[in-house]
Amino acid sequence: MGRISYLLDSNILSEPARLTPNDNVLQQLANHDGEYATAAVVWHELVYGCELLAASKRKKQLQSYLEMLLLNGLIVLPYDQLAADWYAIERARLQRQGLTCAYADGEIAAIAVTQKLTLVTRNTHDFHNFQNLALQNWFE
């Protein structure tokens, strides 16, 4: 297992569970196995999305996929006091500029910045206003 370098957003972490996953994402996940974690808020999004599904074979498959991620050692990083401080300061800076962002996105960005990780997401545009946040899109 290597050093953790990447924080995966929900659209990256859920990609392998899709019926036709993106080959680039699958390759990057394989290339960086053991080098990524996710944020507690992302984990919440994944579990919540799964729980909203009606009882079905697909729901059971997704539940198994999430369990497999944890069994394989996926690290889920908490939103801690350091991240909360960073996001409060950053949110105030953005508000002074007339900019807003989704609250969960701010928490994800805060964890990435304070843990010195590159955030990997398909939705880079949702995060581009945050300072000192390294971004990658593994769909490209």
CATH code of the domain covering residue 113: 3.40.50.1010
Q: Examine residue 19 and state whether it is found in any structural domain, yes or no.
A: yes
Tens digit of each residue's pLDDT (9 = 90 or more) over 80-134: 999 999 999 999 999 999 999 999 999 999 999 999 999 999 999 999 999 999 9
Q: Are 48 and 14 within 8 A, CB to CB? A: no
Ranges of beta strands (E only) in 2-124 are: 6-8, 36-39, 75-77, 118-120
The predicted model scores a pTM of: 0.94
Domains in the chain: how many in total?
1
Q: Examine residue 58 and state whether it is found in any structural domain, yes or no.
A: yes
Q: Give the C-alpha separation, 102 to 127, whole Å.
A: 9
Q: Examine residue 70 and state whether it is found in any structural domain, yes or no.
A: yes
Give me the pLDDT at residue 2, please. 62
**Coil vs helix vs strand at 21:** coil
Q: Examine residue 105 and state whether it is found in any structural domain, yes or no.
A: yes
Q: Are 36 and 5 within 8 A, CB to CB? A: yes
What is the mean pLDDT of the segment spanning 134-140?
97
**Coil vs helix vs strand at 52:** helix
Q: List the domain range (segments joined by +) for residue 69.
A: 6-136
**Coil vs helix vs strand at 135:** strand
Q: Examine residue 1 and state whether it is found in any structural domain, yes or no.
A: no
77 Cβ contact partners less than 8 Å away, ≥ 6 residues apart: 7, 37, 38, 39, 40, 111, 115
Task: Find the length of the chain.
Answer: 140
